[in-house]
Every structure is written in C-alpha cells, then in structure tokens.
C-alpha cells in the first residue's frame, strides 16, 4: 500500500465519536437466494464458489453463514451509468526525490468499463497505488488525460475534485480504516453523514449496505469484535453507502487468508450486480484474479500487454 493511502487512513482515524453500548448478537446466517444473473456473472459466481469450497479448511458441511446476502427488501434505484466510466490516456506522474525526478507512471492508457471488476497487478513499486490515487482524484497527473464519466477529471480544481470524490467515488484500504469506538452500523452511517445525505434515508441505506456484505446480524458489533474479513466487509459497506459509481480498493485482501479473500471477491461481484458500481482494485494475489473482468499488469510504470 502506498503512502497516500496510509496518510488518508491516518486522517480518518483522527475522528473521535462517542462510545456506544455493545450489544452481542448471535452469528448471522445469511440466506442463499435464487440468482437472476447473466451467464457471465453466473460463471464468475461459480468460480468464486469453487474457490471458497477449495479453500475451506476441514471436510465439514459447506459454511454459508458469512456469504454475501442476496437482494434485500430495499433495492436501490437503477441509474444511468456512463460507459466507459473512466478513460486514462498517456498519463505520466513523477515525484521529486531530493534533487532528482522519479518518473513513476510512464504513459498509462487504460479504460474502465462500467459495472466491471478491474484488477491492477504488478510488483511492489510498479506504480499501482500512484495510479489508483489519480483515478480517485487524490492526486493529479503531470501529463495526459483522465476522463471520468466522459468529462475531464484531471483539470478540475481541488474543490471540484473533492466534491466529485465525496459523491461519486468510494475508497477501500488494506487495513479497513474503521473507527474503533463505533459499531459497524455507526461506521457506515458516518459515511452518509459525511456525504451530506439527508438523515431520513440513513437507516434503510445502512441496513441495506450491511445486508449486502452479509453482516446484517452483526451491525452492532464494534471492529474489535469482528474478524479481519468481517471488518473489511464493514469497510466495503461504508465505502458504498453514499452510492458511488466508482470504488477504488488498494489491496483489499492483503491482510486476509485466501478463503476470506474469496468472500470479499464474492461481495464485490454482488455489489457490481446490485449497485451498478465499477470496482478497480490492486492485488498481488493470483488466486483472486480469475474473477476479474479485466486484469491490467503494471511493470515499472507502464501497462503491459
Ligand atoms: N509522493 C511520493 N514521493 C516520492 N516517491 C513516491 C511518492 N509516491 C510514490 N512514490 C514512489 O513511487 C513508486 C511507486 O509507488 P506505488 O506506491 O505507486 O507502488 P505500488 O505498485 O502501489 O507498490 P506496493 O505494491 O508496494 O503498494 C515507489 O518507488 C514509491 O516510493
């Protein structure tokens, strides 16, 4: 994970909220439902199921308890999404290191199709986080263009980029970035509050997002009462609560074992299906790449292949 992401998480961690009474509830058993998915979605779901079964320790009965929940009672309004969502052309980014210039991105061309799962792979230091930061408007390119929903993103001033980020983009980090004193419910609610969404819609939306990630029954647990995979799912619910069109995830499975990593991928596919979100994530894990719609390989600041 890159320095900017770390800095951002450090900032998030500074927010202090009142402690809430802890209520312990029994573990949630998510239901398994009928799927209306398109054949390609079904194939990917099948691969995930296979992965989860292969990776499940022991020979016991299949554990469906923490699988993502199917459609909840509340379904978000369908919306028109511009396709392609993001087009990156000739992007170059350098940093001053002492008296030298370090060119980290050396002319990146990339297209993110709407409602797809895109993975960025590459060795440490190849420039993945730097590129993700540009996609999310946390940084600007020295050269090249970034079109977000058909409009120039790279030329927006700080204020407009912050506004676009607040409304249209969600971020997920390797180390969850949850507020430790708040319950899962309160963590997700906070993101609606910060996005300026009217209070009247909070409850339904928070419950829907936690249901979508399979944690409806643990919404009053605080982060330390949840496993790493569960904490990451709360972080995902938090990142989608304000209905972004683009979700950027910097190594979201790096801290998790393979089975939990596969669960996160299943959650991502469900979010794309239900919420019409495009997800771009970085990863080093070859086992999860097969569920991507597209994998971009980064080598020394360039996209290969
Ligand atoms: N603000 C900065 N100033 C100087 N160098 C930077 C800055 N941001 C990134 N770099 C350098 O750019 C290179 C690429 O960093 P980046 O974090 O994008 O790589 P990465 O592919 O995400 O790596 P990892 O997989 O380890 O997270 C590294 O050599 C890093 O030190």
Query: What pLDDT, on the 0 to 100 scale, is given for residue 140?
Result: 94
- Name the architecture of domain 83-304: 3-Layer(aba) Sandwich (3.40)
Work out which ligand 1 atom sits closest to the CA atom of 301.
14
User: Which residues, given as ranges, of the chain have pLDDT below 70?
Assistant: 1-76, 305
Rounded to whole angstroms, what are the CA distances from 114 to 50, 83, 111?
A: 26, 5, 10
Which residue, chain included where needed, has tokens 């930061």?
A: 133
- What are 103-130's pLDDT values in tens digits? 999 999 999 999 999 999 999 999 999 9
- What are 199-222's pLDDT values in tens digits? 999 999 999 999 999 999 999 999
- Element (H or E) spanning 143, and its range? strand 143-148
Work out which ligand 1 atom sits closest to the CA atom of 102.
5
Structure tokens at 143: 């050269």
Query: Using CA positions, which residue lies closest to atom 28 of ligand 1?
Result: 125
Name every protein residue with a CB atom under 6 angstroms from any ligand 1 atom.
Answer: 1-3, 95, 97, 102, 104, 122, 124-130
Query: What pLDDT, on the 0 to 100 scale, is given for residue 134?
Result: 96
Query: What pLDDT, on the 0 to 100 scale, is given for residue 77?
Result: 75
Give the ranges where 213-287 is alpha helix by DSSP (H). 228-240, 258-275
Tell me the CA–centroid distance for residue 63 and ligand 1, in Å. 39
Tell me the CA–centroid distance for residue 105 and ligand 1, in Å. 10
* Contacting residues for 226 by C-beta, under 8 A, at least 6 apart: 184, 215, 218, 234
Q: How far apart are CA 44 and CA 63, in angstroms?
A: 19
Tell me the CA–centroid distance for residue 301 and ligand 1, in Å. 10
């Amino acid at each position: 994970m890159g320095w900017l992401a770390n800095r951002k998480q450090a900032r998030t961690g500074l927010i202090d909220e009142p402690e809430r009474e802890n209520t312990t509830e029994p573990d949630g058993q998510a239901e398994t439902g009928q799927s209306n998915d398109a054949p390609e979605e079904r194939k990917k779901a099948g691969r995930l199921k296979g992965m989860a079964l292969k990776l499940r320790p022991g020979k016991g009965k299949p554990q469906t308890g923490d699988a993502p929940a199917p459609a909840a009672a509340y379904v978000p309004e369908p919306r028109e999404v511009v396709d392609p969502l993001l087009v990156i052309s000739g992007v170059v980014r350098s940093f001053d290191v002492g008296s030298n210039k370090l060119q980290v991105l050396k002319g990146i061309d990339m297209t993110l199709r709407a409602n797809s799962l895109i993975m960025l792979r590459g060795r440490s230091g190849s420039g993945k986080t730097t590129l993700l930061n540009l996609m999310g408007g946390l940084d600007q390119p020295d050269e090249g263009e970034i079109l977000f929903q058909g409009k120039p993103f790279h030329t927006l001033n700080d204020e407009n980029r912050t506004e676009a980020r607040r409304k249209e983009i969600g971020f997920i980090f390797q180390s969850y970035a949850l507020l430790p004193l708040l319950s899962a419910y309160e963590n997700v609610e906070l993101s609606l509050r910060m996005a300026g969404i009217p209070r009247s819609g909070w409850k339904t939306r928070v419950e829907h997002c936690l249901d979508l990630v399979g944690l409806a029954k643990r919404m009053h647990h605080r982060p330390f009462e949840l496993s790493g995979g569960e904490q990451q799912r709360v972080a995902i619910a938090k990142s989608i609560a304000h209905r972004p069109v683009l979700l950027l995830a910097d190594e979201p499975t790096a801290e998790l074992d393979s089975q939990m990593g596969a669960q996160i991928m299943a959650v991502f596919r469900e979010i794309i299906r239900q919420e019409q979100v495009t997800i771009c994530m970085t990863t080093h894990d070859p086992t999860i790449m097969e569920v991507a719609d597209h994998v971009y390989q980064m080598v020394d600041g360039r996209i290969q292949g």
